[in-house]
Amino acid sequence: MNAAVAPSQLNDDLDQRIVAHAADARWYPSPRPGVERRMLDRVAAETGRATSIVRYLPGAEFSPHRHDGGEEILVLEGVFSDEHGDYPAGSYLRNPPGSSHRPYSTPGCTLFVKLWQFSAGDTEAGRIDTRHTQWRRGLVPGLHVMPLHDFDGIGTALVSWAPQTVFSPHVHPGGEEILVLEGVFRDEDGEYPAGTWLRNPRWSRHAPFTGEEGALIYVKVGHLGASLLMPQ
């Protein structure tokens, strides 16, 4: 575990394009023993908006706590648990503003976590096992989409790219955020293997495609610059 102090602010300028490769990751301790984090973006130390990869060692736990700004989780590895249930890899969870829980992991787990990124009025809780959820055909051959949540112009989904899939050049008025889960995702600016996190700002444009590996990605659009809840 890296003993360095976690930054209080990181990649907090939403007008900047960010590419964070897993190979360059630095891990920082959390306030709880056995839990460490790879910071992706952050606006305040332990209290504000944050996007992170969080890793629980076997048996690690957090004290009961409340999420005033809501929490979004995608379980990447292992089994994540709280008093409401056990969530294996592939589980997508939404804990709305005002919810509370006592999280832990018996075997250990790795999570993608977003805090304080709910719109006002978005109170929907969510529990989706993506391993057993139906895919929908995408806009081009080789593309399949699994919607996870939509509210007020902000959409979250998993997108499966077959090998050699090409998407037309397009613009994201509300920005786009991507976590590459499997394979290699590509666009005209580079190649992004599994574990890469990208944030493309509002009105950015790209022409994504895949090579022979294909790719599975988490995608969130419309949230950059949107009116989100903020700590008081």
Q: The CATH number of the domain where 61 resides is what? A: 2.60.120.10
Structural tokens at position 195: 């574990």
Q: What pLDDT is stored for residue 199 in this prediction?
A: 97
Same domain, 119 and 141: no
Report the C-alpha gap between 36 and 111 in whole angstroms. 11
User: How many domains are there within the chain?
Assistant: 2
Phi, psi angle pair for 191, to nearest 5°: -115, 140
Q: What pLDDT is stored for residue 1 in this prediction?
A: 39
Same domain, 145 and 215: yes
Q: Which domain holds residue 207?
A: 134-221
Same domain, 40 and 115: yes
In a domain, 173, yes or no: yes
CA torsion through residues 188, 189, 193, 196, sign: negative
Same domain, 118 and 182: no
Same domain, 31 and 118: yes
Residues of the chain with pLDDT under 70: 1-3, 46, 232
In a domain, 159, yes or no: yes
In a domain, 12, yes or no: no
Structural tokens at position 101: 């829980």
Same domain, 94 and 55: yes
Same domain, 110 and 158: no
Asked if residues 81 and 103 have their Cβ atoms less than 8 Å apart, the reply is yes
Asked if residues 210 and 186 have their Cβ atoms less than 8 Å apart, the reply is yes
